[in-house]
């Protein structure tokens, strides 16, 4: 399952909807971003209908970095009820992401 590619406006609209949301912040120059996206593409179907997944290329939309005080990539932002709940820095394997998403849905 490919992640939807969003711009900063798409991100704002997705957050506003209020449902559980995972946003992958990435850039083409980031060596760990491709592998992280692969992990997310494998995890996403397990949460279909429960969590929305999207990806923002911060090379194209750098303001997102400042908004969420991101210092490195890849970074995952988790939202629920329209609020930023969790920031996960660095490459993470599927079990870590699954646990974070289960916790998010219970928040």
CB atoms within 10 A of CB 87: 14
pLDDT computed for residue 12 by the predictor: 96
**pTM as predicted:** 0.96
Tell me how far apart the alpha carbons of residues 89 and 75 are, in angstroms, rounded to a whole number: 5
Token duo for residue 87: 């920031």
DSSP conformational letter for 2: P
pLDDT computed for residue 107 by the predictor: 84
pLDDT computed for residue 53 by the predictor: 97
pLDDT computed for residue 103 by the predictor: 97
Contacts of 73 (CB under 8 A, 6+ apart): 25, 26, 27, 30, 32, 33, 58
Overall size of the chain counted in residues: 107
pLDDT computed for residue 24 by the predictor: 98
For the chain of 107 residues, list the mean pLDDT of each consecutive stretch of 10.
91 96 97 97 97 97 95 97 97 98 94
Tell me how far apart the alpha carbons of residues 81 and 16 are, in angstroms, rounded to a whole number: 8
pLDDT computed for residue 47 by the predictor: 97
CB atoms within 10 A of CB 102: 13
């Amino acid at each position: 399952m490919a992640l939807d590619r969003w711009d900063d406006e798409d991100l704002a609209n997705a957050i506003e909807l209020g449902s559980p949301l995972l946003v992958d912040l990435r850039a083409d120059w980031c060596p760990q971003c491709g592998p992280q996206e692969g992990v997310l593409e494998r995890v996403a179907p397990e949460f279909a209908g429960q969590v929305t997944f999207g990806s923002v290329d911060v090379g194209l939309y750098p303001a997102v970095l400042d908004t969420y005080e991101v210092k490195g990539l890849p970074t995952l932002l988790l939202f629920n009820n329209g609020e930023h709940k969790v920031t996960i820095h660095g490459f993470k394997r599927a079990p870590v992401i699954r646990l974070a998403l289960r916790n998010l849905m219970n928040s």
